[in-house]
Amino acid sequence: MMRQLIFAITLLITLVVFTWTAIRIIRFFRLTKPAFPVRNFGRRLIVMMSVAFGQTKIFRRPVLGLFHALVFWGFCVILLGSIEMVIDGLFGTEKALKVLGVLHDIIMASGDLFALLVAISIMIFLSRRLFIHVSRFQGIEMKHRNHADAIIALSLILLLMVSLLGMNAAYVTYNHLSGNEMHGIYPIGLVMSSFFAGIIPSTLKIIYEVCWWTHILLIFIFANILPYSKHFHVFMSVPNVFLSRLDPLGKLPNMDNVTREVRLMMNPETAFVAPVTDTPVERFGVKDVEDVSWKNYLDSLSCTQCGRCTSVCPANITGKRLSPRKIIMDVRARMKEKGPGLIRKGKDYDDTKSLLRDYITEEELWACTTCNACAKECPININHPTIIVDMRRYLVMEEGSAPGELKAVFSTIENNGAPWQYSPEDRLLWAKDLEMKVHSH
């Protein structure tokens, strides 16, 4: 009974802390702007199953992709075993899901096998982080805390797998020596049981309990660390893929406020109607974090900081300052900085800083060619160019700020109705003296 009470208190604390974090993040979402209507659920489900669960984009790099996929699939399978542990902890049962029969055996065997595969994968990832200089893990946005964050999260995952393997091995050995019925199949635990040869059953029971508590407490700790870590994508990647933009990558969304005004002007019934003066003025584009859409903010929370986007960016490759990863990371960092003030003091709160210029420079924004290589490569379907273009829209439409070459184009469009620096009447002069042969039929 005491064991159940301690577990219940621990679970309650975990849920309270996680709920507090979730509410805080939801309040940040409420500060953002609308994005697009979420429709086509069937198509979204297909995309989610392919990209998120099938890990199709990850497999563009087959070897590392396989290891990453094993970690993801392992988490999905081991999650079922963790649910059983929570039930056992609350009600004092042992292997509560054993009523599933053969299905329980499959779940336990898969979890045992994946625990080893995940542990091997994580050791490879840690080795790459610690001993190999991987260029896409570097960059001006990747500070020491980002690398430490990755190492801490990977280490916790490794400890989770080691404690699970130890728990299964002790369970197999204990039941074998005690003659008790064993629920589930544990192929790796059976092999590892040789490590516990010669240990008496009472000691094995203690080892099992230590591993059991270590594993479940690490899960609780990990769940509450994730929202403050780059590994928040463990929770957010699947929803982010489900809520992907379904438009072709090259299609940039129109600005609703501009589209609305143009339609009013093009409508003979409303073109000459006096504007409504009490309507609040909407900002064109994105200047600060309260101007981004909910999808932009969801992207920033889901970002794995893997650097695949930046590694294929032609602007970054040619030495320009643009890093698509940095743009997304800056949105999350800026919301973390300004969000609490906006919640406390309202939308008029101003801390004299902004996402534009204090975090992201004009040079970075204008370096983007909107080629969408970053969005195509992103393993969780983040669309980087949309927010980059929205920030450029703010610069042009609110501040009239743009590179000189673009200003010249804007000027000629305004004066001549085209980007060329001559009158529309002169556009066909190039064909004046051309001899055209007319073929009779």
CATH number at residue 316: 1.10.1060
pLDDT over 90 at 212, yes or no: yes
Q: What is the pLDDT of residue 428?
A: 79
Q: Based on the fold, state whether residues 12 and 136 are members of the same structural domain.
A: yes
Per-residue confidence (pLDDT) for residue 278, from 0 to 100: 58
Averaged confidence pLDDT in the chain: 91
Predicted confidence (pLDDT) at residue 164 exceeds the cutoff of 80: yes
The reported pLDDT for the residue numbered 423 is 79
Judge whether 324 and 373 are in contact, CB under 8 Å.
Answer: no
How is 149-197 classified by DSSP, letter by letter?
Answer: HHHHHHHHHHHHHHHHHHHHHHHHHHHHHHTPPPPS--HHHHHHGGGGT
> Given this model, what pLDDT does residue 49 score?
96
Structure tokens at 162: 């080691």
Q: Domain end: 220, 242, 264, which one?
A: 242
Q: Read out DSSP for 414-432?
A: HHHSSSSSS-GGGTTGGGT
Q: Does residue 417 sit within a domain?
A: yes
Q: Which amino acid, 12? A: L
Q: Helices 2-29 & 201-225, crossing angle to 10 degrees? A: 20
Residue 339 forms part of a structural domain: yes
pLDDT score for 279: 61
Q: Which of 186, 218, 242 is the last residue of a domain?
A: 242
Q: What pLDDT sits at residue 283?
A: 84
pLDDT in tens, 47-72: 999 999 999 999 988 999 999 999 99
Same domain assignment for residues 20 and 166: yes
pLDDT value, residue 419: 83
Question: What is the number of domains present in the chain?
Answer: 2
Residue 41 maps to a domain? no
d(C-alpha 91, C-alpha 417), whole Å: 75
- Measured CA distances, 303 to 234, 325, 441 (Å): 10, 8, 63
Q: Are residues 177 and 271 in the same domain?
A: no
CA of residue 276 relative to chain centroid, distance: 41
Same domain, 209 and 174: yes
User: Torsion-angle region of residue 204: left (phi > 0), alpha (psi -120 to 50) or beta?
Assistant: alpha
The model's confidence at residue 421, banded by pLDDT at 50, 70 and 90, is confident
What number is the average pLDDT over the span 314-335? Answer: 95
Q: Is residue 50 part of a domain?
A: no
Query: Quick one: 354 and 234 in the same domain?
Result: no
The whole-number pLDDT of residue 379 equals 94
First to last CA, the chain: 100
44 within a domain of the structure (yes/no): no
The band of 172, judged by pLDDT with boundaries at 50, 70 and 90, is: very high
- 219 assigned to some structural domain: yes
Domain that holds residue 116: 2-30+61-242
Asked if residue 223 belongs to a domain, the reply is yes
Last residue of a domain, one of 216, 242, 268: 242
Burial 88-115 (b: 16+ CB within 10 A, else e): bbeeeeebbbbeeeeebeebbbbbbbbb
Confidence check: pLDDT of 340 > 60: yes
What would the mean pLDDT of 161-174 be, rounded to a whole number? 95
Query: What is d(CA 269, CA 203) in angstroms, rounded to the nearest whole number?
Result: 87
Percent of the chain with pLDDT over 70: 97
Helix (H) or strand (E) holding 46: helix 41-47
**pLDDT tens-digit readout, 19-53:** 999 999 999 999 999 988 899 999 999 999 999 99
Q: Are 167 and 243 in contact (CB under 8 A)?
A: no
Both 226 and 271 in one domain: the answer is no
**Domain shared by 193 and 311, yes or no:** no
> Which residues are CB-neighbours of 208 under 8 A, at least 6 positions away?
167, 170, 171, 174
What is the reported pLDDT for 281?
Answer: 67
Average pLDDT (330-349) is 94
Indicate if 15 and 118 belong to the same structural domain: yes
Residues 75 and 8 in one domain: yes
Residue 203 lies in a domain: yes
Q: Which residues contact 192 (CB under 8 A, 6 or more apart)?
A: 165, 166, 168, 169, 172
> Looking at the predicted structure, is the pLDDT value of residue 401 above 70?
yes
DSSP, collapsed to helix, strand or coil, labels residue 290 as helix
Q: Is there a single domain that holds both residue 353 and residue 271?
A: yes
pLDDT tens-digit profile of 272-300? 666 665 566 678 899 999 999 999 999 99
Same domain, 131 and 219: yes
Same domain for 315 and 399? yes
| pTM value > 0.75 | yes
In this structure, of 30-34, 87-91, 324-328, 432-436, the range with the lowest mean pLDDT score is 432-436
